[in-house]
Chain A
Amino acid sequence: MSTRSSQLSVYWQHFLKYRPLIRELVSRDLKVKYRRSFLGYVWSILNPLLMMILQTIIFSYMFRSNIPNYPLYLLCGNTLFTFFNESANMGLLSIIGNAALIKKVYIPKFIFPLSRVCSSFVTMSFSLAAVLLVMIFTGSPLYWTILLFWVPLVFELMFCCGFALLLAALTVYFRDMQHLFSVLTLGWMYATPLFYPLEQLPGFAQKLMKLNPMYHYINMFRNLVMYGNVPGPNTWIACAVSGAGMLLIGLLVFRKLQRNFILYI
């Protein structure tokens, strides 16, 4: 037990020592992402807005759902899901993409997936400006609960960190993950109520939905931002357990597998 706790303290010290590296990697990701594009960071606001307009047009005609303030409903879900999608996809490639560096210099390897998730998180934070813009533009009422908007984001951040660590480690050994995951992520998107209301699903599917962590984060976010409700204890428990649980699983699997990364990248 004492060796384990001293090992953990070593990890923590590494984390502190390499914090500047996380910062540099995040700023690199952001710089490279928008380098040489004319509008630069504006894209992180403009992109979700354009996507929202497109989807509003399509789904208003196709599904005729009677969700009040449908554009905002869409945008809330999309913002959170895009963060998950982007961080999972970038995290997946983070170890094999940095193979050149990992082979040459000692760096704690968990830095790579974590920095990727952080850069997606920063991009999402910019996108929150789009949410605010749409709220003002559509005259959505402002409740005090909007001040808690960051709570589901923190839970989601934990979930995404764990998920990215897990995917990054598995992808080193099974390169098929990158092809498989693009299908999985599409399925996951349809299985999350982004553009349809939960109530539209049959009863058993509604029960199944409770197993989808993304549903809980998005549901909590919409409740706080759009409807002025503080969700009940079940949602809180689901969010906290899925976030912390995934983080723990990701860390454990990553720690177990990282030792032999060098032989496979």
Chain B
Amino acid sequence: MEDKSLPLVEVHDVSMRFNLAQEKTETLKEYVVKLARGKLMFNEFFALKNVSFSVKRGEAVALIGRNGSGKSTMLKVIAGVMYPSTGSCTVRGSIAPMIELGAGFDLDLTARENIYLNGAVLGFDRAYMNEHFESIIEFSELRDFIDVPVKNFSSGMIARLGFSIATEVRADLLVVDEVLAVGDFMFQQKCMKRLERMLSQGTTLLFVSHDSNAVRNLCDRAIWLDHGNKRADGPADEVCTAYEEAMRAGNA
């Protein structure tokens, strides 16, 4: 299999370019209007600019930065959802993405059916999901609603179910994007405990959050992204403090 001594994630000189005009020109009329105004070819936007870093096995790394600084884009590149415009990104292992909880749910199906569907989205078959079905239900505390269509769930309930599924399946790398904000306080505590337990068992974590306390608690290292540039990379506490000070000084 893979060499365990190599870093689990290697991000090498990744830039991500979006063509803003391209995304908006969907009809011929808009196209002609934009062509006439000469606006078609501009609006290049770099969400990430030459970012490099690597993550070792068992590490817990946080990505911090303001809204629109490229954190989520970075996670999507790592999760394999987007291809970088230049540079390369290698992940040597399996990924459990939690970029949005319940992204794979079909609202017309019941919670039970969605557990199997979401498991399959993550690459697990029925037998595997059967084995873990009980503990998913147990953790999500949704036993009474198991045969209710998900469209009748509250957003908190959907998040619970999504979190329970994503953390129940085994993966080398867990990618978490600001998903713990939903759910009540008790459930957040429970989620934190589960993440800590997974970390102690050797899962690698990539974590995006605006909650500095959560970052300090969970992660030993933080990477600060600022307008697509890597601004700092180091021990979580130091980077968080620097980030908070810069924010206060209006310099972030």
Contact = CB atoms under 8 A, between A and B. Distances in A.
Contacts of B116: 24
B23 A106 contact: no
Nearest to A17: B123
Contacts of A18: 120, 123
Contacts of A100: 103
A28 B106 contact: yes
Contact of A101 (B22, B103, B119): B103
Given A20-B125, A263-B22, A264-B23, A104 B81 contact: yes
B108 A35 contact: yes
Nearest to A104: B103
A19 B120 CA distance: 8
The residue in B19, B79, B82, B95 that gathers the most chain A C-beta atoms within 10 A of its C-beta is B82
Interface residue range, chain B:
20 to 34
B94 to A, nearest CB: 10
B113 A106 contact: no
B97 interface: yes
Nearest to A18: B123
A21 B108 contact: no
Interface in A69-114: 100-107
A21 B106 CA distance: 13
Given A20-B120, A20-B125, A262-B82, A106 B97 contact: yes
Contact of B81 (A21, A175, A262): A262
B114 to A, nearest CB: 9
Interface in B19-42: 19, 22-23, 26
A106 B109 contact: no
A23 interface: yes
Interface residues of A, number: 25
Interface in A211-265: 259, 262-264
A91 B222 CA distance: 43
Nearest to B166: A105
Contacts of A104: 81, 97, 99-100, 103-104
Interface string A17-56: 1111101110010011001000000000000000000000
Given A21-B121, A100-B103, A105 B109 contact: no
B124 interface: yes
Given A20-B126, A32-B108, A106 B83 contact: no
